[in-house]
Amino acid sequence: MPEFSRRKFLVGAGLTTGTLAALSVGAVSASPANTALPWNYKTLDLDVVKRRGYDGYFVGGCMYATANALLTTLIETVGPPWDSIPADMFKYGGGGIANWGTLCGALNGASWVVQACAGKNSTVVLNELFQWYCGSPLPSRDHDSYAKYARQKATTSNSPLCHASSSKWSFTTKASMNSNERKDRCAKLAGDVAGKTAELLNALI
């Protein structure tokens, strides 16, 4: 098999080293200048964020739900650079990342937003958020006025992992993991996490 040099390969592909360099420079220069962290943050309406988190679950899963709820509200209240992030990128985290049951997607999406705007306080906020998640009975009753299943039983996960949280709730309620009841529970949970994240970030202002 003939041995091709890097230059021959690039020429055969219609590209040269100079072309690639120009493309790279163009890509860098096109990057927004205002994306250095932390990003600006303004007080968010907790009820709005919670409802968007609940609704978003049925669009793209738990990580999408929480991230999209926070991002959408931040776009409305702050604007750029929050509008530079496509919410669809967070769909991979549903079910503990591609249904592997690892870190709860709601926490995963919330963590990204916290890191983007909390600066030196990000670790403090994330510790509070994770401790609250592990030690609180969830889901809350805050969604009962619009949820598909009102007054669902709440359980304490004692873990930030998706499989631990979901399986404990399913075992306690005798609801199947594939049931609509469990999906509604996780939608509420996503809304609760989004709301708690906004509450913690609001307190920093």
Paired tokens of 71:
């991002």
For the chain, domain boundaries: 1-31, 46-202
* pLDDT band at residue 25 under the 50/70/90 scheme: very low
* pLDDT band at residue 81 under the 50/70/90 scheme: very high
The stretch 34-48 carries a mean pLDDT of: 93
Report whether pLDDT(96) > 70. Answer: yes
pLDDT of residue 92: 97
* β-sheet bridge partners, residue 103: 161
Q: Please indicate whether residue 149 or residue 19 has the higher confidence score (pLDDT).
A: 149
Average pLDDT across the chain, whole number: 88
Neighbours of 78 (CB within 10 A): 16
Report whether pLDDT(15) > 70. Answer: no
- Name the one residue in this structure whose structure tokens are 């919330």: 110
Alpha-carbon distances, residue 2 vs 9, 10, 36, 59, 162 (angstroms)? 12, 16, 47, 51, 51
* β-sheet bridge partners, residue 155: 138
For 110-169, the pLDDT digits (tens) are 999 999 999 999 999 999 999 999 999 999 999 999 999 999 999 999 999 999 999 999
CA-CA distance, 66 to 187, in Å (whole number)? Answer: 9
Question: Rounded to the nearest 5°, which phi and psi values hold at 60?
Answer: -145, 15
* pLDDT band at residue 34 under the 50/70/90 scheme: low
Report whether pLDDT(200) > 60. Answer: yes
The stretch 80-87 carries a mean pLDDT of: 96
Annotate the chain with three-state secondary structure: CCCCCHHHHHHHCCCCHHHHHHHHHHHHHCCCCCCCCCCCCCCCCHHHHHHHHHHHHHHHHHHHHHHHHHHHHHHHHCCCCHHHCCHHHHHHHCCCCCCCCCECHHHHHHHHHHHHHCHHHHHHHHHHHHHHHHHCCECCCCCCCCCCCCCCCCECCCCCEHHHHHHHHHHHHCCCCCCHHHHHHHHHHHHHHHHHHHHHHHCCC
pTM, 2 dp: 0.84
Q: Please indicate whether residue 15 or residue 126 has the higher confidence score (pLDDT).
A: 126
Q: Please indicate whether residue 8 or residue 99 has the higher confidence score (pLDDT).
A: 99
Q: Please indicate whether residue 49 or residue 25 has the higher confidence score (pLDDT).
A: 49
